[in-house]
Structure 1
Amino acid sequence: MIHVCFCDFGDIAILRSDQLKILPAKYRQLRKMSIQAKLHGITATHGDWSLEDCLRFRQLTVGQKFVASIKRITYDKLGSPDTPILELELIDVTTDEDVYIHEILLKEQRAIKNGEVESN
């Protein structure tokens, strides 16, 4: 079993070695071409994003046109301190009316504003 991290979506998984493929040598020297990002000003309501939250986020974002406003740049505290993490305001501009993704997640109670504590 091998622990892997998918740098495109940030997912982690444990896979059997027969599920892996050898990367051709010509691609082994490429720099990582992804940038870590998260939505600015919100966190998951229950501490971590549930599978349902992730599926809803994909439903809101796949195939849409976005403008991303960088609100802040932080650095990875757990991994490499040189790794920037962009905090974005993600705005769907597919329709005539702008749609702010964080506002939908707040309205659906999938997220809370940073600094707020969930009350149950």
Structure 2
Amino acid sequence: MVTIGNHLKMTVASALKERTREFYGGVLGLKPIPSPAENPDLYEISGGFILGLFFSDDRAELLAEQDYLKATWLELKVDDLTQWKERLQSFGVIEIEYDDPSRFAEPYLRFFFQAPGGQVFRLAPI
């Protein structure tokens, strides 16, 4: 049997630490969780799902923002897509064009964006 775990690890440039904390803790409103070490920052997304943000200066570990098409994306479900899209854009998040093969029927409301550090998210209605 295989099942999905409840942890997601992302690596972010150390220079983006404060911007990343502002984004995940402030803009998205995720609950910070005490970490056993200085690195990583841990956040609870919902239902016990844990996001670990590891900070690094090693270019080999980092995702370049222009490489987002090679990245895995994570879907976040929201109650009001328009409101959340505006909130993210007011923070400076830019919508990205992403050929989404998971669209089976039009119109499918969604919003792809990059978080500080280059990680890709798809915002979709609950």
TM-score using structure 2 length:
0.24
Q: In terms of Rg, which structure is larger?
A: 1
TM-score using structure 1 length:
0.25
